[in-house]
Structure 1
Amino acid sequence: MNNNEKIPKKRRRLRITHILIILLVAGFCFFVYYRLSLKSKLQARIDAIAAAGYPVTCAELDKWYSIPENVENAAYTIIDAFSCYKKWDKDKSKPLPVVGRAELPACTEPLNKEMKSLITQYIADNNEALELLHAGAAIEYCRYPVDLSAGFESKLPSLSEIRRGVFLLKLEAVLHAENGDGESALRSAISSFGIAHSLANEPCIVPQLVRIACQSFAVTTIEYCVNRVVPDDEQLVEFIECVQNAERNSDISCAFVGERCMGLAFFRAPESVNPDLINGIPFRPVLELFKAAGLVDADAIIYFDIMDEYIQSIQLPLHKRQDAVRAINAKLQSTSKIHILLHSLMPALSRITIMDLRNIAQWRTARTALAIERYRLAAGKLPDTLADIVPAYLDAVPTDPFDGNELRYKKLEPGFVVYSIGEDMSDDGGKERRPRGTKEESPNWDVTFIVAR
């Protein structure tokens, strides 16, 4: 092969080398542009959150979760109540309702002697704790001593103790109602709302779920009391005001704000979070690779967009929220599984929204039923329709938070039921939800408040 033949081959190799270098440089430039673009988009979202007055660091979140200065804090009184709680061992508490395995009889049926005796003893053992619970429930402001600057590793309030306090108050209400002491039963029922409300401003999902569960339980306490004793008009008004305040002061958006802030802390340094706290997080070397490739920032952008949609959904009319959050959840589920961090971190916000709607439905059915009881006290009979109690006992018939129509009302024999159609959007005629795990459990039920007398 002569020199003239070698020259074109060298030129071809050189040309290929140049092309490869150009491609590598172009690829590198594109990657740098891509990473800078992601950083810019992410920072724009963070800046928008801060501009709206919301916290963007866990330290800011800890300060954001606050109560006015120089006011009494209910948290310390409630915590003192927990320290006085006398817990029975498993075998001893098993025959107790609410805190044990036994079921309360139907709300129109009396307690048997053995159950009443056990409840009486249990309440007596916990008298000091109950007095502190009543005192704490009456205090307007509450901020539990938690340090949210630790992000997902923050130690939350003793939620099991708060639930136990609400259970204890229900047992006290049951005993007072059984003894015909309507005034004391009223106090216990209202205090159970107060203890549940102590979690109202907690900026985390789990405490808000516990609050919703406790407030739902408090409504059933009122329902039990109204069936066991006949409250006078003044007591009914107090019940109504309690339920109205619960709805007025309920706002789950604080939980979304807190979760978003903790999510931001996670995306800033995912490798620093204890992997035991969040299921599905890859090992640290994989996280470092994700971070270098821009996948962490990409997941963060999607996360903040979805969180923003959830927060906006809370501003919608009640009856539009369920469809909105289900659409957001469907969008999340359709997101590629390559976004591992997104799917690992994103909480079930659609579920908490629907649970909150169910809670609102309970409050509204309770308020309407209590207004009907006021009408019955005055007129000596039940109203034929809910229009009969407007405007004397209600400014207007409350709407069903699930479909936007008026709540349903039906006379029973004896008594009546006020109900919402619930999340399945099916009118089941005021069918009461049966306890889970029982033979009577059914997938079809309404959100009810029943007075069976």
Structure 2
Amino acid sequence: MAMPNTRNHSGKNTRTKPWVRARRIMLAVAFLAFVVPCMILVGLKVFSERNLEGHIASIRAEGYPAALEELPPWQERILPSPEGEGEADATAAQLYLQAFETLDRANDPHPLDNLRDILTQLGQEGTLPAEKLQEIEKELAANTEALALLHQGAGLPSGKYQPEYAKGWDMVLPHVPGTRRAFLLLRAEAVDATFKQEPERACTALLAAMALLRPLQQEPLLASQGARTACIELMLDILGNALKRLTFTEEHLARLQGAFQFIPVREALSNALVTERVLGIQAYAYPPLLATGDEDWRGGDDAAPLLEVSSSLGVFVPDRKRYFGGMEELIAGIRLPYPDARKIFDRVAERIDPRYRRRLETATGQPRRNRHHHHAPLPSFSKILVRYNPLPLQAAQNEAYLGQCAAAIALERYRVAQGTLPEQLDLLAPAYLAVPPVDPFDFQPLRYLIKDQGYILYSVGLNGVDDGGVPGENPGLGDLVFQVQR
């Protein structure tokens, strides 16, 4: 059988011309050089976005907010208004805001700084010269309107402030510095009444000062909790001075004792970290904000395009994993007793920044600011977690201070009733104190010493060593001491 003739009888050459082959090669190279990278970039962008969406979905599945607009309803859910508060014509928070505005009317960039210096001197020296007392009286007379609003608010339902969560990182919190200034004014009023031997006015001023902190008590913001705990620490000298110089009645002391029944700050700090995590999500969604988390990185004001592109390429995916994993540990860990919380926060800090241990200030237990900035090509936002390391100490100190104040007032109630001080704190319960305070640093009973005509209440503090009621030169050394010396 003959084979078919497959030759091209047209006489044309069917071989591919060289220039056609070259064009095809060029097109293939162009495809590989441009189209494939574009496809890879698109794939990386989708991967990065889905990675962030996965973290967000996991957070929402646990009932937590993951976007700025979710913060107000979440706050209302975790902090429902007390029954009947909505029926009140006004709340304390509303009047306090008016008082803050009154204090700011003078357009003084440093209002009441003179009072702050005078009260610092009182804490250091235990007394004040006549001219300083006259300056306090003058400042109080200049701020009678604000004082009236603060005292009026003390008798109203607490209410809440309304932070502008929608502004995210640009959120302004005028009620935080306002609270600090108003608290300073009320402390000064208590000092004025104390030196003038007016126990009723001193008691009222102390009660108004503590009532001022109510709207901040559970506000889920670190700035708010920082202000609240700082104010309680500042109250120690003022209360001690009043107990030293005045003779309060049982009624006065019972009212004061009720004012120091605060919810432990640990829960509020946990909720504040939830808010911080929402701001972290905003930073990962808008990459130019990522530089705010890394104090060591110096990218300059023109780094936004670099951060945007890097985020699209998925470069920050590992950093996100460190951040969200660490934040989850911190949110749960801050609710634990101090020793357990301390371990968790240190573990997270060491995992985020291996140099953390070397950067510790051994005297204070706080991380030292790095003075030798490295020049990493991109920021690590997860380093912001190291900034939260002081929170366990803040919570424990706050509990110790509140315990000292409550115990001191109970001791005074016992003294009024019995004519002498008890030999030990256990004798205060249950008539004058439901449960004797426990030192949050080592879980032992709060230390109590009778000294001359007064007494000392102290916690072992950060170093965990009983120094016999001797304070240190800084928060990392010595005991946390509250003393009343008549």
Q: Same fold (TM over 0.5)?
A: yes
Query: Take 1:323 and 1:415, find their aligned partners in 2: how far apart are those partners?
Result: 37
**1:45 aligned residue (41, 45, 55):** 55
Alpha-carbon deviations, 1:13-44, whole Å to 9, x = none? x9xx99xx8xx98x999998887666555434
Closer/same/farther in 2, CA of residues 139 and 303 from structure 1, 3 Å limit: farther
2:217 counterpart of 1:222: no
The 1:176/1:252 distance shift into structure 2, 3 A limit, reads same
Identify which of 323, 339, 353 aligns with 1:333: 353
Q: Mean Cα displacement is larger for which, 64-73 or 52-61?
A: 64-73
Alpha-carbon separation, structure 1, partners of 2:240 and 2:325? 41
Structure 2 vs 1, CA of residues 332 and 186 (structure 1 numbering), >3 Å: closer, same or farther?
farther
**What do residues 384-435 of structure 1 show as CA deviations (whole Å, max 9, x unaligned)?**
222222333233322111111111111212311111111121222112356x
Structure 2 counterpart of 1:368? 407
The separation in 2 between residues aligned to 1:207 and 1:38, in whole angstroms, is 34
Query: What is the identity, as a one-letter code, of the residue corresponding to 2:478?
Result: W
1:303 is aligned to 323
After TM superposition, the structure 1 stretch with the greater mean CA deviation from structure 2, 52-61 or 385-394, is 385-394
Taking only the aligned residue pairs, the percentage that are identical comes to 26
Structure 1 residue 102, shift from structure 2 partner: 6.6
Deviation at 1:93, TM superposition (A): 6.9
Matched, 1:379 2:418: yes
> Is 1:74 aligned to residue 92 of structure 2?
yes
The equivalences for 1:96-107 within 5 A come to 96-99=114-117, 103-104=121-122
Q: Is the CA contact 1:208–1:252 (under 8 Å) kept in the aligned structure 2?
A: yes
TM-score under structure 2 length normalisation? 0.77
Query: Does the alignment pair 1:447 with 2:475?
Result: no
Q: CA offsets per residue over residues 218-251 of structure 1, 9 Å max, x none?
A: 3432222112212222222222211123548962
- Equivalent position amino acid for 1:45 in 2: H
- The one-letter amino acid of 1:308's match is E
In 2, the alpha carbon distance for the partners of 1:101 and 1:143 equals: 29
Q: Would the aligned equivalents of 1:372 and 1:383 in 2 still touch at CA under 8 Å?
A: yes
Gaps of 5+ in 2: 1-24, 356-373
In the other structure, the counterpart of 1:427 is 466
Could you tell me how far 1:172 is from its partner in structure 2? 0.1
CA contact (8 A) 1:65 1:143 kept: no
> Residue 198 of structure 1 is aligned with which of 215, 220, 237?
215
Q: 2:102 aligns with which of 84, 87, 90?
A: 84
Match of 1:11 in 2: none
Q: Deviation of residue 160 (structure 1)?
A: 2.4
Give the corresponding residue for 1:172.
189
Q: How does 1:184-333 map to 2 (within 5 A)?
A: 184-245=201-262, 247=264, 251-271=268-288, 273=289, 279=295, 280=297, 282=299, 283-333=303-353
Is contact 2:44–2:312 with CA below 8 Å preserved after alignment? no
2-structure distance, mates of 1:442, 1:262: 30
Partner AA of 2:63 in structure 1 = G
Query: Match of 1:63, SS?
Result: helix
TM-score, normalised to structure 1, is 0.82
Distance change in 2, residues 1:234/1:200 (3 Å): same
Deviates more, 1:74-83 or 1:123-132: 74-83
Deviation at 1:148, TM superposition (A): 0.7
CA RMSD, 1 decimal: 3.6
Q: Distance in 2 between matches of 1:163 and 1:98?
A: 11
Q: Distance in 2 between matches of 1:432 and 1:87?
A: 39
1:84 offset after TM fit, Å?
A: 2.2
Where structure 1 has 5 or more consecutive residues not aligned to the other structure, the ranges are 1-13, 435-440
What is the rounded CA distance, in whole Å, between the counterparts of 2:472 and 2:197 in structure 1? Answer: 27
Alignment length, in residue pairs?
426
- Equivalent AA in structure 1 for residue 102 of structure 2: C
Deviation at 1:180, TM superposition (A): 1.3
The verdict on how the C-alpha distance between 1:396 and 1:448 changes in structure 2, with shifts beyond 3 A counting, is same
Over alpha carbons, which structure has the higher Rg? 2
Query: Alpha carbons of 1:55 and 1:180: their partners in 2 closer, same or farther (altered >3 Å)?
Result: same
CA drift of 1:88 comes to: 10
Structure 1 residue identity aligned to 2:393: I
User: 2: CA distance between counterparts of 1:91 and 1:291?
Assistant: 42
CA distance 1:151–1:305, change in 2 (3 Å): same
Question: Quick one: which amino acid aligns to residue 58 of structure 1?
Answer: L
User: What are the residue-to-residue correspondences of 1:14-53 with 2, within 5 Å?
Assistant: 42-53=52-63
C-alpha separation between the residues in 2 aligned to 1:138 and 1:286?
55
Task: After superposition, give the CA deviation of every residue in 1:199-223 in whole Å (9 maximum; x if it has no partner).
Answer: 2333322222122112222343222
Q: Is the 8 A contact 2:44 2:313 kept in 1?
A: no
CA distance in 1, matches of 2:200, 2:267: 26
Aligned to 1:3: none
Query: Is the 1:107–1:227 contact (alpha carbons within 8 Å) kept by the matching residues of 2?
Result: no
| More displaced stretch, 207-216 vs 80-89 | 80-89
* C-alpha distance 199-314 of structure 1, shift in aligned 2 (>3 A): same
The verdict on how the C-alpha distance between 1:277 and 1:49 changes in structure 2, with shifts beyond 3 A counting, is closer
CA 1:186–1:286 in structure 2 vs 1: closer, same or farther (change >3 Å)?
A: same
In structure 2, the CA distance between the partners of 1:138 and 1:397, relative to structure 1 (3 Å rule), is: same
- Separation in 2 of the partners of 1:100 and 1:210? 20
Equivalent pair of 1:203/1:255 in contact (CA under 8 Å): yes
Distance 1:238 1:207 in 2: 25
- The answer to whether the Cα contact below 8 Å between 1:326 and 1:350 also exists between their aligned partners in 2 is yes
Change (3 A) 1:87 1:400: farther
